[in-house]
Structure 1
Amino acid sequence: MDCESRTESLSEEECLHLLGTVPVGRVVYTAHALPAVLPVAFEVAADGRLVLAMRRGADVSRALDDTVAAFQADHLDEATRTGWSVMVHGRAQVVTDPALHERLRRTGPRPWVREAEPMFVTICPELVSGRRLLPSGRAVQNT
């Protein structure tokens, strides 16, 4: 059985639901004309936006603010060799509104590296895709 027959595509709704089940993902952006990947704590807001929590940094702030970024999170089970992976593309915005920043500081995700004043970035999903890796022997029927 080839690998492709062990995967199934996920709906956008299922992708966003699955993202809400894990606390860490990876934001992909461009820094100094090169691809960069940063693991970050995040949550899916009620409006579907991703809220990323990270250490404050000028390079990251400049590289992410008002740009198109990608975000990827997954959950894989080594024992069963099953799991899922979700990719989101959308416009990233550094949170600069003082009221929103304060609310996120109190109730939003926490950076993995403790920071007195974290930076928050939102990504508005424009393209959402995902795949589930099925157990061996469970092939997807493509119709």
Structure 2
Amino acid sequence: MQFDESGLEIVDQDECRDLLKRAVIGRIVFTHQALPAVQPVNFAVSRGDIVIRTSGRSRLATAAADTVVAFEVDDFDTEARTGWSVIIVGRARRVTDPREITALEALPLHSWAPGSRDTFIRVRSDLVTGRRIGEAD
């Protein structure tokens, strides 16, 4: 087991990818009007990448034009003071290929927000890091 300088356990990439499968909601960090923006989103994983479905007119869809973003998922037990966090950094892009869109439509990815969600954003998982506090799951 490895620990960072703060005493948090470092989670390896394989376990980070397993933890991603447990989460339903994540947070995407992107730039909007030259400022950082954070938005909660539901997501799916496809070929190791994060996939988000949104409106083509959303701030996220506008910002995800081959730009670097961060994506974070976590789970915490406040009573036991345990938890974990996984962060992915990579390029986000709008999916435009009709065959890829057809494949992504088959994912169990249904937006919680009202209205049409006709745009898929794919975040490439270039950098995957994770930390855990407290007992391992």
When normalised by structure 2's length, the TM-score is 0.86
Aligned-residue RMSD, C-alpha: 2.0
3-state SS of 2:124 partner: strand
Residue number in structure 1 paired with 2:49? 49
Which AA in structure 2 matches 1:15?
Answer: C
Residue number in structure 2 paired with 1:8? 9
Question: Where do residues 1-143 of structure 1 align in structure 2 (5 Å cutoff)?
Answer: 4-5=6-7, 7-45=8-46, 47-135=47-135
1:58, distance to aligned residue in structure 2 (A): 4.7
- Percent identity over the alignment is 37
3-state SS of 1:66 partner: strand
How far does the alpha carbon of each residue in 1:98-130 deviate from its partner, in whole angstroms, 9 at most, with x for none?
232233234341112143343211111111111
* Bigger shift: residues 61-70 or 50-59: 50-59
Give me the whole-angstrom Cα distance separating, in 2, the residues matched to 1:121 and 1:114: 18
Structure 2: stretches of 5+ with no match in the other structure: none
Residues 61 and 94 in structure 2, CA contact (< 8 A), matched pair in contact too: yes
How far does the alpha carbon of each residue in 1:69-105 deviate from its partner, in whole angstroms, 9 at most, with x for none?
1000101112211110011100101111123223323
Larger radius of gyration: 1
Instruction: Give the aligned length.
Output: 132
